[in-house]
Amino acid sequence: MVMLTLAAPAIAGSDHSASEPALAAAVQKESVAKAPVLEATKLVINIPSRTLWVYQGSKIVRYFPVGVGRPGFMTPVGDYSVLRKVVDPGWENPYKPAGEIRIVPGQNNPLGTRWIGFLRKGAGEYGMHGTDNPGSVGKFSSHGCVRLKVPDAEALFDMVEIGTPVAVVYEPVLIRPQGDEMRVVVFRDVFGRGMPTAEQVHARIMAEYPNARVDDTLLRKALQQPTERPIPVGALMPTETKATSVQGEALPGSVLLPEPERVSGTP
């Protein structure tokens, strides 16, 4: 986690005074002109896949590879919302005496050019932000925040507003059908929260795709091998279906997307 001291004036959308410490912005410019925010925008961040999906309604319109919390600093799972947006944030090292190590906005700032806060914890704040270390994106690399490449952070910044829902989930198994083939993508359970059983994944597939035919032998084998690549586990019979969760909203794994660029291993 990083810590910063806000400089006056306080950031729009925040109830922090100018003297309160936070994770975003010693020196900041309040929001630049925003692109129109379409109806029902929602962000879903999946920790095992290190991926951020942007939903509009039940449709995924963008996805970004992200760096998430490393072991010992897991990004908190839960339902949140965008609390603040900061252009050109400044950074202060939280593990040093206050004011000892500060980095002003600029090319070498660890937060890049954009900060999107979504969870306050004590005097600090978790957020999505750019990074001066793009090689850390796609890894378990942060102190709990969500890192994006600078261009991606800038694009995401313009897609959200204060109050946009943010869901951080822990789904090590994603459902990825393609054509008439049912596939799953299995990720490592880095934080030891437990893998779903074959029976649970089978039930989820059938709930989303009643026309699926699942080979349980292939499914069990896939769950034992977290390759982070789509693995065939069955077929889809010809019929028109709509994949939904129990809440009636399309799940991240229900939409086939190209695999984001990532680097294997945990730094």
Question: What whole-number distance in Å separates Cα of residue 90 and Cα of residue 103?
Answer: 6
From residue 180, give the alpha-carbon distance in Å to each of 206, 211, 252.
15, 10, 19
Q: What share of the chain is helix, strand, coil (3-state, %, to 5)?
A: 10, 30, 55
From residue 120, give the alpha-carbon distance in Å to each of 81, 153, 251.
11, 20, 26
Q: What is the DSSP string of 125-142?
A: EEEEE--S-GGGTTSEEE
Question: What whole-number distance in Å separates Cα of residue 135 and Cα of residue 175?
Answer: 27
| 16 in active site | no
| 129 in active site | yes
Could you identify the residue written with the tokens 């925008």? Answer: 41
Catalytic residue from among 16, 143, 145, 202: 145
Residue 167 near residue 44 (C-beta atoms within 8 A) = yes
And the tokens for 265?
Answer: 């291993």
Residue 11 near residue 28 (C-beta atoms within 8 A) = yes
Catalytic residue from among 16, 129, 143, 202: 129
Question: What whole-number distance in Å separates Cα of residue 130 and Cα of residue 143?
Answer: 14
Residues with catalytic annotation?
129, 145
